[in-house]
């Protein structure tokens, strides 16, 4: 390879970085690589030589200057380093070697406001900046992730051939992901799960919401499992087989598929089912929290997403819960009779699907709020399509979302699309039955319950917020609008002192 023959460079050779490099190399791109630890870079390059068919396209550099100078202009440099300060330090280290029009691509889980700031700062220096969401974990990075890039159109045109080549592929007719996963033999053809999202931080914002939806999707699946375990007394492998069956229908998804596998996996140490040996304390890296916090900031009703974040937080206080379980009493669980097992499983399936629809409706409602707040113009149909393959929330269901926005690009809420309206109408009887069973038996199902509360609130022409606004006017003179007056006209009542009788109005 000549001195300036790399098509793209990548900094940060942790697992995601290594796999993305190999993905690009498999697609015929020469990739320059650099890592703060030179030893790690050398180990990776040696590993490639010994095991990877495309190893000749991976070129290691121990020096940052030679790394940058080895890349064809306009240079494209992917950062897969820790979000936050580490990203800023890496950018600052690169700047002395970059030239006008070069492009930095941040593929980490960056806070979208940081991406907005970085894009603006680098634009002033004539350097392009792309913030790209990357979803799919290490397997996705290796064989086809879902990619959500944002920045200027000019920068995207330069990156597009590489990003569309390495992304997951979906059959354009069936909407099904095209399977791959063999080193040196990339998937070709189909719709690429990489599409320009919009300006500045919109790509990382959409990835953040993706992760928020991922939180609630996983929580809902866990609640379905927990209800089958405790209401129906089913063993883990029995529940796994139910998820296997569900994966053949409208619930078909990556998360349902792996849930079926997890529930049927035996623990090599104890010979019990592995899931029964895993401690019930869930971790989180922060993107779900960002989603819930931003929903509060923008006033978007994302209560189900927030419930999933709170459920993980509650799981983390394991010792407190163990102590509380000996003090705080609940109802005795009444087992469902064998004759009602099939109907109850179907009701749990309905609860899962209806709650899932609500969760995605909340995610897209939040993105809609954000595009107004940050002056973006986003294509919701394309967003759902690039989530169809590669990413953690990939699911058959997402094709229905793409279809919904194709039918009505101005759709205000997914639940108003004819398909989703019909599904909610069909499934809500079972949904309500399941939540009632959970409540009467003292089984936590906060995700299902939050989703139903959202559904019932959204479909209500009137809500008790009239009293709430009266309270706000009473104690804080915050004013109120009237039902018999035009919107935007505000009123205030000179309320009497608390405890004094109301003045009769004749």
The model's pLDDT over 227-279, given as tens digits with 9 standing for 90+, comes to 999 999 999 999 999 999 999 999 999 999 999 999 999 999 998 999 999 99
pLDDT of residue 498: 78
Q: Which of 169, 207, 229, 400 is catalytic?
A: 207
* Residue 229 shares a structural domain with residue 111: no
Cβ contact 347:341 at 8 Å: no
- Asked whether residue 278 falls in the same domain as residue 372, the answer is yes
Read off the pLDDT of residues 394-404 as tens digits, 9 standing for 90 and up. 999 999 999 99
CA atoms within 13 A on the CB side of 198: 22
- 100: CATH: 3.40.50.720
Record the tokens describing residue 84, joined without a space.
Answer: 């936050």
286 and 413 assigned to the same domain: yes
User: Does residue 367 belong to any structural domain of this protein?
Assistant: yes
Please indicate, yes or no, whether residues 229 and 208 belong to a single structural domain of this protein: yes
Q: What are the distances in angstroms from CA 290 to CA 132, 133, 367?
A: 17, 15, 13
| Sheet strand arrangement including 76-79 | 58-60, 31-34, 8-11, 76-79, 103-106, 128-135, 146-150
On the question of pLDDT at 10 being above 60, the answer is yes
271: preceding bond cis by omega (within 30 degrees): no
Tell me, what's the pLDDT at 252?
94
Residues 352 and 333 in one domain: yes
- In this structure, are strands 76-79 and 103-106 parallel, antiparallel, or unpaired? parallel
pTM across the whole model: 0.93
160: exposed, middle or buried (Cβ count in 10 Å: 0-12, 13-18, 19+):
middle
pLDDT, residue 214, reads 95
455 pLDDT above the threshold of 50 = yes
Radius of gyration of the chain (CA): 26
* The pLDDT of residue 301 is above 80: yes
Task: Give the pLDDT score at 2.
Answer: 44
For position 59, what pLDDT does the model report?
96
Percent of the chain with pLDDT over 70: 96
Q: Quick one: the chain helix, strand, coil %, rounded to 5?
A: 55, 10, 35
Interatomic CA distance for residues 163 and 195, integer angstroms = 9
Q: What is the pLDDT of residue 135?
A: 93
Q: Is residue 154 part of a domain?
A: yes
- What is the structure's pLDDT at 501? 66
Residues 277 and 330 in one domain: yes
The answer to whether position 1 is within a domain reads no
Domain boundary, last residue among 166, 200, 234 = 200
Residue among 119, 195, 214, 223 flagged as catalytic: 214
Which CATH number belongs to the domain containing residue 405 in this structure? 1.10.1040.10
Residues 386 and 484 in one domain: no
Say yes or no: 411 and 481 in one domain.
no
Share of the chain above pLDDT 90, in %: 88
Q: Give pLDDT, residue 287.
A: 87
Same domain, 440 and 480: no
Rounded (10°) angle between helices 254-263 and 202-231: 40
Using one digit for the tens of pLDDT, what is the confidence trace for 30-45? 999 999 999 999 999 9
Instruction: Give the model's pLDDT for residue 503.
Output: 61
**65 domain residue, yes or no:** yes
With respect to residue 67, please indicate whether it lies within any of the assigned structural domains. Answer: yes
Q: From CA 224, how far away is CA 221, in angstroms rounded?
A: 5
- 74 cis-preceded (ω within 30 degrees of 0): yes
* Number of structural domains found in the chain: 3
Domain annotation covers residue 429: yes
Judgement on whether residues 285 and 223 belong to the same structural domain of the protein? yes
Query: For residue 1, is pLDDT > 50?
Result: no
State mean pLDDT over 282-295: 90
One domain, residues 58 and 74? yes
Q: Is residue 178 part of a domain?
A: yes
Of 181, 200, 219, which one is at a domain's C-terminal end?
200
Supply the CATH number for residue 494's domain.
1.20.5.320
With 0-12 / 13-18 / 19 or more C-beta atoms within 10 angstroms meaning exposed / middle / buried, residue 424 is: buried
Q: Specify the pLDDT at position 4.
A: 59
Q: Does position 102 have pLDDT exceeding 60, yes or no?
A: yes
pLDDT of residue 203: 97
Average pLDDT over residues 55-68: 96
145, 177, 200: which is the final residue of a domain? 200
Q: Do residues 469 and 241 touch, judged by C-beta distance below 8 A?
A: no
Looking at the fold, whether 347 and 389 belong to one and the same domain comes out as yes
Query: Coil, helix or strand for 479?
Result: coil
Bridge partners of residue 103, in order along the sequence: 76, 128
Quote the tokens at residue 231: 């209401």
Q: Is 214 a catalytic residue?
A: yes
Lowest mean pLDDT among 89-98, 266-275, 440-449: 266-275
pLDDT in tens, 360-387: 999 999 999 999 999 999 999 999 999 9
- pLDDT tens per residue across span 159-213: 999 999 999 998 876 667 777 666 766 776 678 999 999 999 999 999 999 999 9
- Give, in degrees to the nearest 5, the angle at Cα 345 between 343 and 455: 95
Residue 345 has a pLDDT of 98
Q: What pLDDT was estimated at residue 172?
A: 75
Burial class (CB in 10 A: 0-12, 13-18, 19+), 473: middle
Q: What domain range includes position 490?
A: 465-506
Confidence (pLDDT) at 155: 96
In a domain, 184, yes or no: yes
Phi, psi of 106 (to 5 degrees): -90, 110
């Amino acid at each position: 390879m000549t001195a300036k023959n790399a098509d793209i460079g990548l900094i940060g050779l942790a697992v995601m970085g290594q796999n993305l490099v190999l993905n690009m190399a498999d697609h015929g791109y020469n990739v320059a690589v650099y890592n703060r630890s030179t030893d790690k870079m050398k180990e990776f390059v040696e590993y490639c030589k010994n095991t990877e068919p495309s190893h000749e396209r991976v070129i290691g550099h121990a020096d940052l200057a030679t790394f940058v100078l080895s890349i064809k202009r306009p240079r494209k440099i992917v950062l897969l380093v820790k979000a936050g300060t580490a990203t800023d330090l890496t950018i600052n280290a690169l700047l002395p070697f970059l030239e006008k029009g070069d492009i930095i691509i941040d593929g980490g889980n960056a806070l979208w406001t940081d991406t907005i700031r970085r894009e603006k700062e680098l634009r002033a220096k004539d350097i392009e900046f792309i913030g790209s969401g990357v979803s799919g974990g290490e397997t996705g990075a290796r064989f086809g992730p879902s990619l959500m890039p944002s920045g200027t159109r000019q920068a995207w045109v330069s990156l597009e051939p590489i990003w569309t080549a390495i992304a997951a592929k979906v059959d354009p007719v069936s909407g099904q992901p095209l399977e791959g996963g063999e080193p040196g033999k990339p998937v070709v053809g189909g719709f690429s799960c990489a599409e320009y999202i919009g300006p500045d931080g919109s790509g990382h914002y959409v990835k953040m919401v993706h992760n928020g939806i991922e939180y609630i999707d996983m929580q809902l699946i866990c609640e379905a499992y927990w209800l089958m375990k405790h209401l129906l007394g089913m063993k883990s492998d029995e529940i796994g087989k139910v998820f296997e069956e569900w994966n053949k229908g409208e619930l078909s998804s990556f998360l349902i598929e792996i849930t079926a596998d997890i529930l049927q996996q035996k623990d090599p140490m104890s010979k019990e089912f592995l899931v029964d040996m895993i401690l019930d304390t869930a971790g989180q890296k922060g993107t779900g929290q960002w989603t819930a916090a931003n929903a509060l900031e923008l006033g978007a009703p994302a209560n189900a997403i927030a419930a999933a974040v709170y459920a993980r937080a509650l799981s983390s206080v394991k010792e407190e819960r163990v102590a509380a379980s000996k003090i705080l009493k609940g109802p005795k669980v009444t087992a469902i009779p064998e004759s009602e097992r099939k109907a109850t499983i179907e009701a749990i399936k309905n609860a899962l699907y209806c709650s899932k629809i609500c969760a995605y409706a909340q995610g897209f409602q939040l993105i809609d709020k954000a595009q107004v707040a940050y002056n973006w113009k986003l294509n919701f149909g394309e967003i759902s399509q690039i989530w169809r393959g590669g990413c953690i929330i990939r699911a058959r269901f997402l094709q229905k979302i793409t279809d919904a926005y194709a039918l009505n690009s101005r759709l205000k809420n997914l639940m108003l699309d004819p398909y989703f309206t019909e599904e909610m109408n069909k499934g809500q009887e079972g949904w309500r039955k399941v939540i009632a069973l959970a409540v009467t038996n003292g089984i936590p199902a906060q995700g299902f319950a939050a989703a139903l509360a959202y559904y019932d609130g959204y479909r209500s022409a009137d809500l008790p917020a009239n009293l709430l606004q009266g309270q706000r006017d009473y104690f804080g003179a915050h004013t109120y609008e009237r039902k018999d007056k035009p919107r935007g006209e505000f009123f205030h009542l000179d309320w009497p002192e608390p405890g004094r009788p109301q003045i009769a109005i004749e």
